[in-house]
Amino acid sequence: MVTRCLLIASMIATSAFAQPEEDSYVKTWVERVDVQAEKPFRLFVEVSGDTVSEPTIPKSDDLVVDVNNPQTLRRSITVRTPQGVKQQNILKYSFFVWATKEGQVTIPPIPATVNGTTMESQPIRLTVSKADPADLPDPNSVRLWVDRRTVT
Protein backbone atom coordinates (compact mmCIF):
# COMPACT_ATOMS: atom_id res chain seq x y z
CA MET A 1 0.00 0.00 0.00
CA VAL A 2 2.82 2.43 0.83
CA THR A 3 4.51 1.63 -2.50
CA ARG A 4 1.24 2.25 -4.34
CA CYS A 5 0.79 5.64 -2.60
CA LEU A 6 4.37 6.63 -3.44
CA LEU A 7 3.84 5.64 -7.08
CA ILE A 8 0.64 7.72 -7.31
CA ALA A 9 2.32 10.70 -5.59
CA SER A 10 5.26 10.41 -8.01
CA MET A 11 2.92 10.39 -11.03
CA ILE A 12 1.06 13.46 -9.75
CA ALA A 13 4.31 15.33 -9.08
CA THR A 14 5.67 14.45 -12.53
CA SER A 15 2.52 15.64 -14.30
CA ALA A 16 2.48 18.84 -12.23
CA PHE A 17 6.02 19.77 -13.33
CA ALA A 18 5.79 18.65 -16.96
CA GLN A 19 5.68 21.49 -19.46
CA PRO A 20 2.29 21.80 -21.16
CA GLU A 21 2.01 21.83 -24.94
CA GLU A 22 0.91 25.50 -24.71
CA ASP A 23 4.63 26.37 -24.67
CA SER A 24 4.55 25.85 -28.45
CA TYR A 25 2.54 28.45 -30.34
CA VAL A 26 2.31 31.09 -33.05
CA LYS A 27 0.31 34.17 -32.09
CA THR A 28 -0.30 37.57 -33.64
CA TRP A 29 -1.77 40.83 -32.43
CA VAL A 30 -2.03 44.47 -33.54
CA GLU A 31 -1.92 47.79 -31.70
CA ARG A 32 -5.57 48.39 -32.59
CA VAL A 33 -8.21 46.80 -34.83
CA ASP A 34 -9.67 50.12 -36.00
CA VAL A 35 -7.13 51.55 -38.45
CA GLN A 36 -6.98 54.14 -41.22
CA ALA A 37 -6.21 53.32 -44.85
CA GLU A 38 -2.61 54.08 -45.83
CA LYS A 39 -1.68 54.88 -42.22
CA PRO A 40 0.92 52.45 -40.82
CA PHE A 41 0.28 50.34 -37.76
CA ARG A 42 2.21 47.50 -36.15
CA LEU A 43 1.62 43.78 -36.52
CA PHE A 44 3.29 41.66 -33.84
CA VAL A 45 4.11 37.98 -34.36
CA GLU A 46 5.43 35.68 -31.64
CA VAL A 47 6.66 32.11 -32.24
CA SER A 48 7.55 29.86 -29.30
CA GLY A 49 8.78 26.27 -29.01
CA ASP A 50 11.81 24.01 -28.60
CA THR A 51 12.79 24.66 -32.24
CA VAL A 52 11.19 27.54 -34.13
CA SER A 53 11.43 29.05 -37.60
CA GLU A 54 10.72 32.53 -38.86
CA PRO A 55 7.07 33.19 -39.70
CA THR A 56 5.95 33.41 -43.31
CA ILE A 57 3.87 36.51 -43.98
CA PRO A 58 1.23 35.68 -46.62
CA LYS A 59 0.68 38.11 -49.50
CA SER A 60 -2.56 40.10 -49.47
CA ASP A 61 -4.24 42.50 -51.89
CA ASP A 62 -5.69 44.43 -48.94
CA LEU A 63 -2.51 44.90 -46.88
CA VAL A 64 1.10 45.90 -47.41
CA VAL A 65 3.50 44.38 -44.87
CA ASP A 66 7.07 45.70 -44.67
CA VAL A 67 8.89 42.37 -44.31
CA ASN A 68 12.30 43.80 -45.26
CA ASN A 69 13.12 45.41 -41.94
CA PRO A 70 11.12 43.99 -39.01
CA GLN A 71 12.05 44.74 -35.45
CA THR A 72 13.06 41.35 -33.99
CA LEU A 73 13.79 39.81 -30.61
CA ARG A 74 15.12 36.31 -29.99
CA ARG A 75 15.04 34.87 -26.48
CA SER A 76 15.91 31.45 -25.10
CA ILE A 77 14.69 30.20 -21.73
CA THR A 78 16.07 27.17 -19.94
CA VAL A 79 13.46 25.33 -17.88
CA ARG A 80 14.19 22.53 -15.44
CA THR A 81 11.70 19.63 -15.61
CA PRO A 82 11.65 16.22 -13.91
CA GLN A 83 12.91 14.79 -17.21
CA GLY A 84 15.87 17.18 -17.30
CA VAL A 85 16.56 20.60 -18.74
CA LYS A 86 14.44 21.96 -21.58
CA GLN A 87 15.21 24.94 -23.82
CA GLN A 88 12.34 27.15 -24.97
CA ASN A 89 12.99 29.56 -27.86
CA ILE A 90 10.85 32.63 -28.45
CA LEU A 91 10.98 34.79 -31.59
CA LYS A 92 9.14 38.11 -31.62
CA TYR A 93 8.66 40.26 -34.71
CA SER A 94 7.15 43.69 -35.22
CA PHE A 95 6.16 44.65 -38.78
CA PHE A 96 4.83 47.92 -40.20
CA VAL A 97 1.56 47.28 -42.05
CA TRP A 98 -0.68 49.50 -44.21
CA ALA A 99 -4.24 48.74 -45.25
CA THR A 100 -4.80 49.61 -48.92
CA LYS A 101 -8.60 49.79 -48.90
CA GLU A 102 -11.42 50.85 -46.62
CA GLY A 103 -13.89 48.43 -45.03
CA GLN A 104 -13.35 45.07 -43.35
CA VAL A 105 -9.89 43.57 -43.89
CA THR A 106 -8.53 40.34 -42.43
CA ILE A 107 -4.89 39.64 -41.61
CA PRO A 108 -4.69 35.96 -42.58
CA PRO A 109 -3.27 33.25 -40.30
CA ILE A 110 0.53 33.47 -40.20
CA PRO A 111 2.35 30.12 -40.34
CA ALA A 112 5.67 29.12 -38.76
CA THR A 113 7.34 25.79 -38.08
CA VAL A 114 7.41 24.94 -34.37
CA ASN A 115 9.02 21.70 -33.18
CA GLY A 116 8.90 20.33 -36.74
CA THR A 117 5.17 21.04 -37.16
CA THR A 118 3.59 23.91 -39.09
CA MET A 119 1.43 25.99 -36.77
CA GLU A 120 -0.67 29.06 -37.58
CA SER A 121 -1.85 32.11 -35.69
CA GLN A 122 -5.48 33.15 -35.55
CA PRO A 123 -6.64 35.64 -38.23
CA ILE A 124 -7.16 39.26 -37.17
CA ARG A 125 -10.16 41.21 -38.44
CA LEU A 126 -9.60 44.95 -38.97
CA THR A 127 -11.99 47.82 -39.61
CA VAL A 128 -10.35 50.27 -42.00
CA SER A 129 -11.61 53.85 -42.33
CA LYS A 130 -10.54 56.65 -44.65
CA ALA A 131 -7.30 58.30 -43.57
CA ASP A 132 -7.28 61.88 -42.40
CA PRO A 133 -4.38 63.55 -44.27
CA ALA A 134 -3.40 65.37 -41.08
CA ASP A 135 -2.89 61.98 -39.35
CA LEU A 136 -0.54 60.53 -41.97
CA PRO A 137 3.08 60.28 -40.81
CA ASP A 138 5.70 62.75 -41.93
CA PRO A 139 7.85 60.90 -44.51
CA ASN A 140 10.89 62.80 -43.24
CA SER A 141 10.55 61.58 -39.65
CA VAL A 142 12.82 58.98 -38.05
CA ARG A 143 12.02 56.39 -35.39
CA LEU A 144 14.81 54.68 -33.45
CA TRP A 145 14.88 51.59 -31.23
CA VAL A 146 17.79 51.34 -28.84
CA ASP A 147 18.85 48.74 -26.28
CA ARG A 148 20.26 51.24 -23.81
CA ARG A 149 18.68 53.94 -21.71
CA THR A 150 21.53 56.37 -22.39
CA VAL A 151 22.48 56.99 -26.01
CA THR A 152 25.59 59.02 -26.77
What is the Cα–Cα distance from 48 to 45, expressed in whole angstroms? Answer: 10
Contact 89/3 with Cβ under 8 angstroms? Answer: no
114 pLDDT more than 60: yes
pLDDT band at residue 21 under the 50/70/90 scheme: very low
Average pLDDT for residues 67-76, to the nearest whole number? 91
Instruction: Identify the CA nearest to 55 among candidates 110, 137, 118.
Output: 110
12 pLDDT more than 60: no
112 pLDDT more than 80: yes
Contact 67/57 with Cβ under 8 angstroms? Answer: yes
Give the helix ranges, DSSP H, for 1-152: 2-17
Average pLDDT for residues 38-57, to the nearest whole number? 93
Mean pLDDT of the chain: 81
pLDDT band at residue 103 under the 50/70/90 scheme: very high
Q: Quote the percentage of the chain above a pLDDT of 70.
A: 74
